[in-house]
Structure 1
Amino acid sequence: MAQPEEPQPPIVPSCPLPAKICDVVRTERPRSCCGMAMAGLRTAKYQLPEWHRRNAGVYYKAFTVGEEAERGRAEAKNLVKQAAASAQRAQQYSKNTLGQRLQDIQFWRSELQKEIMELDAETNLLAAQKLRLERALDATEVPYAVVIDNLECRDRRQPPDLVIDQVERQLLKEAELIRDIRDLLKRTIIQATTQIRSNRIQKENCELDWSDKVETYHIDDKCISYCPDSTNIQSHPSSVKFEETASTPKSWAQFSHDNISSAEQEKLASVQLRALINSIIHDASEDLRLQRAAVSEAFDCHLRELAEAKLRLEQHLQQILKDIGEEEANIANLKKAIRDKEAYLKVAQTRLYDRSFRPNVELCRDEPQFRLVSEVEELTVFLEALKRKLMESEQNLKNLEETRMKLEKEIAVKANSIFIDRQKCMVYRLRYPVDLEVASYKQ
């Protein structure tokens, strides 16, 4: 900026200026008597040149002081303008930076609010999945009770049928499957509970960050509204110092970024866990359905085998009963034949006995005598054969009776096994849940 031209001093008479304007020069002239007479009024006087020089000095001093004052006023005016412009620019720049800061705060606040809402919604979905797991776990109690009851009922089968058959193997497999499913559901419930807790902790961290940004936004929004004419501004000299715990813009943005990243990770883990829960419930339901079908098929096959075995035993029993009847009739015939032959034998023996009383020479070994002896021998042989056959028939009858008893016992055992499998087990299995996945949605 060009410097103002300095004003030229006024032209004064050409006479040398004294070293000190205010010094009084004493004259060396001899004092007159008139001067002696005025000595009491004044001791010194200025010379005319001195007076002019002094006036010129006073003029110059006044001009210089005025010029300096004018220059100072110009500088002060310029400084005021510069200070006003600088203050206005600084305040506008600060206002712009505050506005940009408000935009940054609003951005992160919106991102945090969005993340909070999404994380809250995801937590609610995961809580619903956890409730499904709990209901599915409750739904497995009935199948497990059914399987245990089936095994206990089948333990009451009578020894001939108390075997480890395909039905029992399938029931044991089903019981083990249900136990594994229950353990898996319990572990998954614990995992879901832990994930829900992590979601809520991360949500709380985001909420705290969001709350701080809301408060900060209000503070900066209030700050951006301040102006020199505001009535609520005060002097706070100590506020210029930076706090030791203050963050930097990079660490401030990184803090919110880390919170959002952690929330995203928890949300992703929650989504994956929900998919895993769906898969677990679906697979468990499918496994139980297949195993239930396998058990039912084993029951049907075993019941058919039992029915066929019982039918064959009943057919054999009918034949045995028929044989017993025929054998009893045979024994009766044999006994009647023995009695008849004994009567014939008695007749022949009586004849021989009576003929033994013939007198003297009449006691002859004639033909009738030989015939009677032969008849007795023949009858004796037949009687012995009939008695042996009677004994055999009685033994056969005894064996038939024992077989009948065994068959009746076997039929009773088969009937008891059929009753246990069909009436106790199959009927009770009707309480088996149709679908574990469907049961997980029921109240």
Structure 2
Amino acid sequence: MHHIRSARRRGSSAMRPTTRLKAGAQMKESAEKNLQAKNLPLDVAIECLTLRDSRRDIDVVKDPVEEELHKEVEAIDATKKALQQKISQAFEKLCLLQEVRQQLNSDHRDKMETLDIDRGCLSLNLKSPNISLKINPTRVPDNSSSLQQWDDFSQFNKNRAEAEMKEATELREAIALTIAETNNELEAQRVATEFAFRKRLREMEKVYSELKWQEKNTLQEIAELQEDIRHLEEDLHRKLLNLKLCHTRLESRTYRPNVELCRDQAQYGLTDEVHQLEETIAALKQKLAQAQ
């Protein structure tokens, strides 16, 4: 029992993969949001380059503005690749942490069961009513292990968990650093691009005044449309969660035993709610398709 308690203490200190999983998932989500946030700047930069391709005659020049825009597109592409790589690494690490957590949970359950058995044995005495002679009680089960093997297994689980958690921490730090560095690089490039634009605009203010106004309105419309789409997607996501909840409740209630499996008010209410949610989801999907 002393060995098992010691192993449990080691296991408890290694049960932090759950915390690491949450932290890793949050960092992965942050990287995904940062990756998603790069789409609009990329679209804007590409749109600017596309707009400038419509210049005519002598105005078709490879000026500093065009050079900086190309740099911005390249910088955003490089940033997206770096973030995507980190997201893939985070996904793989989350899978490993999940595997470690499952192994630790399994080992922990086995040890809890063993503790219960040994506590029961310790509570037995000569007056216990349930003691009796057994057939070949000194036999060694085929799948039994030595104390050293048992300790090695427990230590291996602990060491593996700590190693994975250490790597997960390092990966989170690397992701945070990548996010910060790429944001700084893109911000510097954005400033450089805007400076080139301002300089060029001063040279051709009259020519670009109308174009600047159109670009501003286009960006505003894009932002508003994306906001509308985001609200629709959020609403659709909430409705899907409600539908999953209703489905799960209905499915769970099919396992009621015998006469308890009756079509009660809750059953009808859940069924009506499913139909209403399905109609709402269909309408939201149609609106979302139209908006997109």
User: Does TM, normalized by the shorter one, top 0.5?
Assistant: yes
Match of 2:213? 423
The answer to whether residue 52 in structure 2 is matched with residue 261 in structure 1 is no
Map of 2:101 onto structure 1: 203
Match of 1:148 in 2: 46
CA drift at 1:430: 8.1
Whether 1:171 and 2:57 are equivalent positions in the alignment is no
4+ runs of 1 displaced by more than 4 Å?
Answer: 424-433
Q: Write the distance in 1 (CA, Å) between the matches of 2:137 and 2:71.
A: 76
Please report how far the alpha carbon of residue 304 of structure 1 lies from its aligned counterpart in structure 2 after TM superposition: 1.5
Residue type at the aligned position of 2:164: E
Q: Secondary structure at the match of 1:237?
A: coil
In structure 2, the CA distance between the partners of 1:424 and 1:163, relative to structure 1 (3 Å rule), is farther
User: What SS is found at the alignment partner of 1:240?
Assistant: coil
Q: Tell me which of 118, 129, 148 is aligned to 1:250.
A: 148
Contact 1:147 1:175 in 2 (8 A): yes
**SS of residue paired to 1:238:** coil
RMSD: 2.1
- Measured against aligned partners, the alpha-carbon deviations of 1:262-294 in whole angstroms (never above 9, x if no partner) come to 000100010000000110110111011101000
Q: CA deviation at 1:110?
A: 2.4
The alpha carbon displacement at 1:432 in A equals 11
Question: What is aligned with 1:136?
Answer: 34
**CA drift at 1:428:** 6.0
Q: Equivalent of 1:299, from 163, 182, 197?
A: 197
Name 2:79's counterpart in structure 1.
181
Partner of 1:103: 2
1:162 aligned onto 2:69: no
**Percentage identity across paired residues of the two chains:** 27
Q: Which residue in the other structure is 1:345 paired with?
A: none
Match of 2:195, SS state, is helix
1:114-129 paired onto structure 2 within 5 Å:
114-116=13-15, 118-129=16-27
Helix, strand or coil: the match of 2:140? coil
The alignment's TM-score, normalised by the length of structure 1, stands at 0.48
Instruction: Specify the alignment match of 2:181 in structure 1.
Output: 283
**Which digits, 9 at most, give the CA deviation of each residue in 1:306-333, with x for residues without a partner?**
24xxxxxxxxxxxxxxxxxxxxxxxxxx
Deviation at 1:245, TM superposition (A): 2.3
- Mapped to 1, the partners of 2:219 and 2:78 lie a distance apart of 20
State how 1:68-79 maps to structure 2 within 5 Å. Answer: none
Distance in 2 between the 1:430 and 1:170 partners?
A: 23
Residues 1:237 and 2:135 are matched in the alignment: yes
Aligned residue in 2 for 1:213? 111
- Pick the structure with greater CA Rg: 1
Distance in 2 between the 1:157 and 1:188 partners?
Answer: 40
**Is 1:142–1:432's contact at 8 Å kept on the other side of the alignment?**
no
Residue 148 of structure 1 deviates from its aligned partner by 1.1
Structure 1: give runs of 5+ residues left out of the alignment.
Answer: 1-101, 308-414, 434-442
1:140·1:178 contact (CA, 8 Å) conserved in 2? yes
1:28-107 correspondence to structure 2 within 5 Å: 102-107=1-6
> Partner letter of residue 419 of structure 1?
E
Aligned residue identity for 1:104: H
Change (3 A) 1:216 1:252: same
3-state SS, counterpart of residue 234 of structure 1: coil
Query: Contact between 1:146 and 1:428, CA under 8 Å: does it hold in 2?
Result: no
